[in-house]
Structure 1
Amino acid sequence: MARYKNGINGPVSGKIGNVVGATCRGVAYLRSMSEGTAAPTQKQINQRLKFALVMGWLKPLLNIINIGYQILTGYKTSMNRAVSYHLKEAVTGNAPDYGIDFKKAIFSRGELLTSWILEVLCLVNAVLKIKWDNLPASAFNNDKDKANFIIYNPAKEAFVTFEGVALRSDKEAVLELPEDFMGDVVQAWMHYVNAEGNAVSTSVYVGELVVA
């Protein structure tokens, strides 16, 4: 915006080409007209579809992600970090039919060691039993680390979370899922949070399971 001093024809008022003249409190100004908003490109539309998919999928896990991505925040929030990762690494399919690659989903990233899964049993009445083993105890592998599990039911678009349901030293956990999950296929992940809540392991994909 430029200030205009009266010329031989006085202050400019109204539109001349792409310039608009106006007067405010006795002072004349010239400003360019704002350009109209361009229609989004197909690439922008596709990116918005991906963002909406990832954000909507992760939103129910905000509390878990706030802890799981806490050491990576910097100038970004934990959710920003999680969304950024999943946009780049975990979106699959072609527009407009995008989906999530469950094997690549990561809900926590940290330096605590993971365990290796020995067995996953799908018991009756929508109960899962998960067994694991650990490396020798260390600063990154404490018996008191709390095991968290995330279960996702794609058919019902619903998450069920189990936070601190077992200690690392227990080497097994029993998870009681909602009864209406019976007969459905679910996706499962596991990670650890230390006793203080300020350190986590990177989450691991447990697998695709049929709930009995």
Structure 2
Amino acid sequence: MATYNKGILGAFSGKVGPVVGATWRGKDVMRSLPKKSNRLATAFQQQQRSKFAMATEFLSSVQPVVSRYFGGNTGLKTRRNQAMSYLMKEAIVFNEPNYEWDYTKVLISKGDLLGINNGQVAAGTGQNLEFTWSNNSEQGEAEVTDKLVLVVYEPTSKATVYSLNAGSRSSRSATLELPNFLSGLEVQVWATFVASDDKLAATSLYLGAITVG
């Protein structure tokens, strides 16, 4: 792999002849095409591929949230990459004979802002979910204007519903309306607070599994 300065044609990505252009840790790089191998993947490689596929599928569904609020963009590792690394290490567990999610350890945001206090979710009328929490603004960097961010995930259909501004920290309650096809299904729910200017985020809280009315 080699780095290069932008010439008259500028940087490029993808395959061009025998080389591939890409961006790695904020630098433009070129590398030769990998050689095909007939060797079978080891058990460890197969496990990593399974975990990677699970994490990729989930992250794709919550990309608008993770890309804003998971860690920080340092130029070396994107927010999505940070989330991928965390999920593969902490939230995907082996339960013979397959890997599965430990939803209690899944995070959809990660940061230093004060998180949700006494957060709860309950099934409301129709396909609504009702959220409540305590107002802990003015503690640390928490503000009354911090926005509530919600993520709801249905594992079988892979359906995801999210809100980037479901209410303010001081409002103490919020309602999220879900689509009709989720009626009667069990969903996984997370919530977090982010600053009104999106510059700070809290580490998300798993609120549990709940059956939609």
Q: TM-score, normalised by structure 2?
A: 0.78
Partner of 2:79: 78
Distance 2:119 2:201 in 1: 21
Counterpart secondary structure, 1:65: helix
Letter in 2 for 1:202: T
Deviation at 1:151, TM superposition (A): 0.3
Residue deviations 1:127-180 (CA, integer Å, cap 9, x gap) = 111110032514521000000100011132111001101011111001111111
Counterpart secondary structure, 2:122: strand
Does the C-alpha gap of structure 1 residues 106 and 72 become closer, same or farther in structure 2, counting only changes over 3 Å? farther
**Overall identity of the aligned pairs, in %:** 31
Counterpart secondary structure, 1:137: coil
Partner of 1:200: 201
Length, aligned pairs only: 179
Counterpart secondary structure, 2:110: coil
Contact 1:184–1:211 (CA under 8 A) maintained in structure 2? yes
Two-structure CA RMSD over aligned residues (Å): 1.9
Contact 1:187–1:209 (CA under 8 A) maintained in structure 2? yes
Letter in 1 for 2:118: I
Deviation at 1:120, TM superposition (A): 2.6
Q: Structure 1 residue 211 and structure 2 residue 212: aligned?
A: yes
Letter in 1 for 2:199: N
Gaps in structure 2 of 5+ consecutive residues: 1-34
Partner of 2:45: 44
Letter in 2 for 1:178: P
Deviation at 1:76, TM superposition (A): 1.0
Does the C-alpha gap of structure 1 residues 78 and 35 become closer, same or farther in structure 2, counting only changes over 3 Å? closer
Counterpart secondary structure, 2:114: coil
Name the larger-Rg structure.
Answer: 1
Partner of 2:65: 64
Counterparts of 1:111-130 in structure 2, within 5 Å, are 111-117=112-118, 119-130=120-131
Partner of 1:142: 143
Deviation at 1:124, TM superposition (A): 2.1
Q: Structure 1 residue 152 and structure 2 residue 153: aligned?
A: yes
Contact 1:73–1:81 (CA under 8 A) maintained in structure 2? no
